[in-house]
Structure formats: structure tokens, C-alpha cells
Chain A
Amino acid sequence: MKKIINAPTDVVTDALRGMAAAHPERLRVRFDPAFVARADAPVADKVAVVSGGGSGHEPLHVGFVGSGMLDAAVPGAVFTSPTPDAVRAAVGEVDGGAGTLLVVKNYTGDVLNFETAAELLEAENIGVRTVVVQDDVAVRDSTNTAGRRGVGGTVLLEKIVGAAAARGDDLASCHEIAERVSAGVRSMGMALTAPTVPHVGEPSFELADYEMEVGVGIHAEPGRERVELESADGIVWRLLEPVLDDLPFRRDDEVLLFTNSMGATPQTELYLAHGIAERFLAERGVRVTRRLVGPYITSLEMRGLSFTLLKLDDELRRLWDAPVSTPALTW
């Protein structure tokens, strides 16, 4: 294992120290339990939006803390959900009296820990609603599995619901918008190489030089199939076809296309793939009116990419365009 770290068990804490040092004006970083909050939290009478999950997907979630997006993010150990007491502490610090929306990716650990945290918070009379993001179409069989995983759609949902909270929507309205995003977003990803979890020390899976994993998850869980590497055209088709099949986009529908790097994909390849994806969608009459390209939900140093499509309406587009100021996303 070759990494720029000191001790494998200190990776998350050490990285948080670095974030605190890099963004003193924006972020307040707490340890034991660990969470990252907006420096100006709690914002009075605003719904707080709080998310969290295993570390190793940065900038998700800690890089999205700031005005117009998350009020707090709770990082767990690498690829491991945070614990309920950490979520409770974060919400306790940022809840401004208007309640808190929890954004949870659909993984067994995250769902169980956030569920327990929500129970604790309700016992303290803090209004809490939860949205579980489950946008990964690579999971075909939701009955005999833990269900579709929450992946790229989470980034878009956090931005949009963060904007809704910032404009003054109440908790019920924020929750409704979050559910609308969740219903209209689909993703699929692939990998060329596996990431190495620091405390494991070895790559999460073995992949031959000529192979790729299609439908991979953000913890490097295997996906739909392992096939021989193809051209970029082939890869884009393999990812976008199931996304389009799953969410019936009608002709002239307006979408946001999010082309995401899994961590170590060069920008050249990412833009190359994005260009092909735009052409692919144009040929099918799907109108891409908003884009996001870059490494926003990653799997450590995994090479690969994912595509996310979100169906837009006037309100979702306005919320997407609204100002945001976080370490990883700003406009």
C-alpha cells in the first residue's frame, strides 16, 4: 500500500484536521464525536440539512458543508457509517429550531445508524425527517438485496434541498423536494481499478489489466458484470442505457447530467466521456440543460466514473442555480 498517511487508523481524523486548517472561515470541525458544521451554525429558523456516511467519498459529504447546501456532515471511518451519537451531536449543534432533514444513502449501515439517531433526536423533541437516496440502477434486484444504493444522486439532492432550506422552506417542504429529487434521479458507475482502504492495506478487489467492473458501487462493491475493457463510446453506452431505461425520460425532457470521477480518473478522460454522453443523450432527444463534471462522490483512489441523470422541472432548476458556498461546490 502506497499512501500519503501516517497511521492508517488516524486517516479520517488527520484529514479532518487538514480541512479545519484549510477552511477556518467556513467550517467548524468537531472531534469525538467527529462532525463538520457550518461556521455560522445554527442558522436561526432555517431547516438544517445534515448528511453523513463513511469517509473515503470526499468531497461527499464534508466538502459540501456551507451556505446553500449542508449545515453539517458526519464522517464515519473509511467506508463505514458514522455512529448514532455522532449524528445526534451534529444535529444538536446545527438545528436552528426549524427541524432537521437527514440525507442518508441507502446502505444497511447508514440506514440503521441514522434510524437510531432519529429516534434519539425525536426523544429530545427535535423535529427530524429523513430522505433515503437510492439511485443506483446497477442493483437490478431490490427484493433479494439491501435495495438500490445511494450514489451520485446524493450530491444533486444535497445541493437542491440545501437551496430549498436556504430560501426558507419548512421541514415538510424540504422533505417533499428531497423526495421529488430522489424519485427523478438515476445513476450507474464503472471501475478500472480498485481502491485500497487504509486499514485493510490491500485493494478491495482484483481486476485484470484488460477488465472493467460495470455497475460498481462507491465502496467498490462488485456491480452487474465484469467485462473486457471497451472504448469510451462503449463504456458510456453501457452506463447510460440502463439509466435511461429505468427512468423513462420522454423526448424533450430536461435533465441535469452529472459526470463523476470515482477518485483517480484524469480530467481528460472525464471530459472525454462527458462529451460522448451529451451526444448520446442528444441523439435520444433528452435535453441536457445543466451539467456537473468532476470528482464529487468518490471511492478513494478508484479509477472509473459514474453518470447521474436528474429530471429537472422549473423549481428544481432554480434551486440548482441558487447560490452555494462550500469547499467543494461554489457559485
Chain B
Amino acid sequence: MPCTARDAAAAVRRGADAMAEHRDELVELDRAIGDGDHGENMDRGFRAVVAQLDLADPPTPGAVLKLVATSLISSVGGASGPLFGTAFLRAASSAGEVEELDGATLAASLRAAVEGVVSRGKAEPEDKTMIDALLPAVRAAEERATSGADPAEVLAAAAEAATTGARSTVPLIARKGRASYLGDRSAGHLDPGARSVALLLAAFADVTGVE
């Protein structure tokens, strides 16, 4: 089943629920190696996204993604605002104005998202950032898409790989962002940005899987 604007909006709303439900967990993760604002910022950002979705009725999946991007950029602040905002903005551009996304175009959007984050944040794999969840997710999504999977299957594969990828940040020493100032002391902690990526993709997969 392809992904329509309605599906995309439902997925984003589920993502907002996930950010609210896990707000305190993300705050705790960030308190360990950052400054403890990540859960609050993501929750505030996705509340703004939902408020905008309530006002507008974006006609295409790309328009939904663009609305998410602009809402996050103007409400989150910190590093997460521009980074998550850029991810959604590039995904929106990749999705273009088509009415529906299939597995392949969805995977292409995810690829555009990770490239956007890399070009803005300059992080590389194993720097202990959101990239460590997003990059394996994109690879898994592309692999599933090549074998003709639909959006639900593509997102499920992405979500699973993101969860594993996020977990892989635990032993890493941070080399980007505020956690990098901890040096060796950043090892042993899950990266909050990577955790957010995994939570969002799991929430998106959850919705598309049900329908």
C-alpha cells in the first residue's frame, strides 16, 4: 500500500505522541552527556508540528514533511532544530509533489534526509550522533525497497535498524555536539539524538504497519 498525505500526517502525529511519551527518558539521556534539554525541545517541536497540522491540510506527503521541517526549525532551537528540520526538509524536497510515496521513493526521501543532516552537522558514523541511527536505517530501507517492498515494510526495516544503530552508540566516545566535551566520559551512554531517530521511525512504522 502506498503512503498518502493522510498516512504521512498520521505517522507524524504518532511521532509527536512518541516524543511526548519519551520526553523524560530523552531528558535523562541528555542530562547524562549533554545538558538535559533534548526531550523538552523535541516534545515542544512536535507539539508545534501538530498545532500546524491541525491548521493546515497538506495535500501531499512532501507537503506534510515540509510542514514538519519548518515547524521544527522555528520551534526547537539547539542543534536538534536545524538538524531534524534539515532532515525533514530534504526528505520533503526528495518526495516532491507526488500524491503517493511507494517503497522506493520513501527510501529515497530517507537517503536525502541523512545527506542533509551530514552536510549541516558534519558528523561521521561513530561520532555518537543521530547519524548512527539514521544511516543504518536508510541502508536497511534501501535494501528492502530494492526488493519491491511497500512503505510499511520499508519503514519497519528502517525502524529496526535505527533501534540497533541507536543502541550501538552506547560504547562510543562522542566527537560532535555538546557530549564531545566529555571525551572518554561520554562512553557508556545512549546518544539522545540517535534514540529520538529510532523512536520517530518506530512511530512512523507503527502507523503505516497498522493501515
Q: Which residues of A contact B (CB under 8 A)?
A: 33, 54, 76-85, 107-109, 112-113, 115-116, 139, 141, 144-146, 149, 197, 199-200, 202, 204, 217, 219-223
Contacts and interface: CB of A to CB of B under 8 A. Distances in A.
B40 A200 contact: yes
B44, B77, B80: residue with the most chain A Cβ atoms closer than 10 Å: B77
A105 B211 CA distance: 47
A197 B82 contact: no
Contacts, number: 103
A139 B76 CA distance: 26
A115 B83 CA distance: 12
A33 B173 CA distance: 36
Contact of B77 (A77, A144, A146, A200): A77
A112 B31 contact: no
A112 B120 contact: yes
Interface residues of B, number: 32
B177 A79 contact: no
A76 B77 contact: yes
A141 B37 contact: no
Contacts of A84: 73-74, 82
Contacts of A113: 77-78, 81-82
A132 to B, nearest CB: 14
Interface string B19-53: 00000000100010011110011001000000000
B121 interface: yes
B79 interface: yes
Contacts of B181: 139, 145-146, 149, 217, 221-223
A312 to B, nearest CB: 29
Nearest to B41: A80
Given A109-B77, A221-B181, A144 B175 contact: yes
A33 B182 CA distance: 33
A304 to B, nearest CB: 16
Interface string B171-190: 00101111011110100000
Contact of A204 (B35, B80, B177): B35
B176 A108 contact: yes
